[in-house]
Amino acid sequence: MSRRAKVGVVMAGYVAAFVASDVAARLYNARVAGLPYDTSGGMYAGGQMMSSLAAFLVVSLVPTLMALWFLRGHKRFWNAVAVASLAFAGAGLLAVLMPLVFHTKTTHIAIVLVGLLGLSQLLGMPLWFMVFALFAFLAPTREARRKLMLAVAIELVIGVCALVHWFVPAPPL
**69 and 81 both lie in a single domain:** no
**What pLDDT score does 10 carry?**
95
Q: What b/e readout covers 108-140, taking b as 16+ CB neighbours within 10 angstroms?
A: eeeeeebbebbeebbeebeebbebbeebbebbe
Q: Are residues 88 and 69 in the same domain?
A: no
Query: In this structure, are 102 and 24 located in the same domain?
Result: no
Length of the chain: 173
Query: Do 66 and 102 share a domain, yes or no?
Result: no
First to last CA, the chain: 65
Q: What would the pLDDT profile of 21-79 be if each residue is shown by its tens digit?
A: 999 999 998 888 877 766 677 888 898 999 999 999 999 999 999 998 898 888 999 99
Say if residue 102 is in the same domain as residue 169: yes
Q: What predicted TM-score, i.e. pTM, was given to this entire model? A: 0.76
Asked if residue 78 and residue 29 are part of one domain, the reply reads: no
Host domain of residue 23: 1-73
Task: Output DSSP code: residue 73.
Answer: G
108-166 confidence digits (pLDDT tens)? 788 888 888 888 998 999 999 999 999 999 899 999 999 999 999 999 999 998 898 88
Does 123 lie in the same domain as 88? yes
Pick the last residue of a domain from 52, 73, 94. 73
Domain boundary among 26, 45, 73: 73
Same domain, 102 and 127: yes
pLDDT at position 102: 73
In the prediction, which pLDDT does 173 show? Answer: 59
Average confidence (pLDDT) over 2-18: 95
Structurally, the chain folds into a number of domains equal to: 2
44 with 89, same domain: the answer is no
What is the per-residue pLDDT for 24? 96
* 153 close to 125: Cβ distance less than 8 angstroms: no
Same domain (yes/no): 91, 165: yes
Of 45, 73, 101, the domain-final residue: 73
Instruction: Let me know whether 19 and 87 are in one domain.
Output: no
Are 29 and 107 part of one and the same domain?
A: no
